[in-house]
Amino acid sequence: MVCYRFVRLGRATLTYVPALQRNAKPRFEKGSLIMDVRKTVFTKEIIAADEMSKPCSPITRAAAMAIVRNPFAGLDQDDLSQLFDVGAMLGQSLAAELVKMFEGPPICYGKAALVGSSGAMEHGAAMLHPKLGKPVRAAVGGGKSLMPSNHKVGALGGSIDLPLGHKDEAWSFDHIDTMTLWVPDAPRADEIVLCLGMSDGTRAHPRVGKGPNQA
């Protein structure tokens, strides 16, 4: 028995499709979108000391990684708007789950996309930039700062550095951080690993100043 879940997204209908029924090429009806998520991975870190073993107040960092089929893998496609909506839907669902992983409100955020070898870096950008940010800002209750981001094409089991920054204070050097993420069996050539990260604190023992040097 095959189960489908349909979600209304503006004028478009978002359809979840089982992995065994993937199409080799995208077959979109006008106004519809297929989002095929193979799996979602969550990771959480609680940092109690810096690299020199000096204790610090606990810092929680968490990330979510959704492995999604890239409908444009191997295709020369100019209109990537289908991926805009995929980013929006995943941004909403992943952010909601991440916020639950913190005891208090997260104050830093960031995003990244690792595109499989049959895709293009622009496919990752299409998922990250146009629509993903708005639902994430709603989930964290703020977001005056541009959300730090990174995207690249990589191999199976490759890693990507997800940058973090303060959600409201872009020049807060103490909160500029990085999470290195990977999924051992992703991305396959026709997949994208969409990553969203959050933190509730600074780096461990930040000591590089509180803003740009005005000298």
Question: What is the structure's pLDDT at 104?
Answer: 93
Question: What is the structure's pLDDT at 19?
Answer: 41
Q: For 123-153, give one letter per residue: b (16+ CB within 10 A) or e.
A: bbbbbbbbbbbebbbebbebbebebbbbbeb
pLDDT for residue 88 is more than 70: yes
Q: Please state, for a pLDDT cut of 70, what percent of the chain lies above it.
A: 83
State pLDDT tens for residues 10-35.
334 444 444 434 444 544 444 456 68
Cβ neighbours of residue 56 closer than 8 Å, sequence gap 6 or more: 47, 48, 49, 50, 204, 205
- Distance (Å, whole) CA 62 – CA 12: 31
pLDDT for residue 133 is more than 50: yes
Question: What is the structure's pLDDT at 35?
Answer: 84
As a whole number, the mean pLDDT across the chain is 87
pLDDT for residue 82 is more than 50: yes
State pLDDT tens for residues 98-121.
999 999 999 999 999 999 999 999
- Distance (Å, whole) CA 197 – CA 114: 14
Question: What is the structure's pLDDT at 212?
Answer: 75
What is the DSSP track for the chain?
-----EEEETTEEEEE--GGG--SS--PPTTEEEE-EEEEEEEEEEEEE-TT--EEEEEEEEEEEEEEE-TTTT---S--HHHHHHHHHHHHHHHHHHHTT-SS---EEEEEEEE-TTS-HHHHHHHHSSSSHHHHHHHHT---SPPPEEEEE--TT-EEEEEEEESS-TT-GGG-EEEEEE-TT---TTEEEEEEEEESS--SS--S-SS----
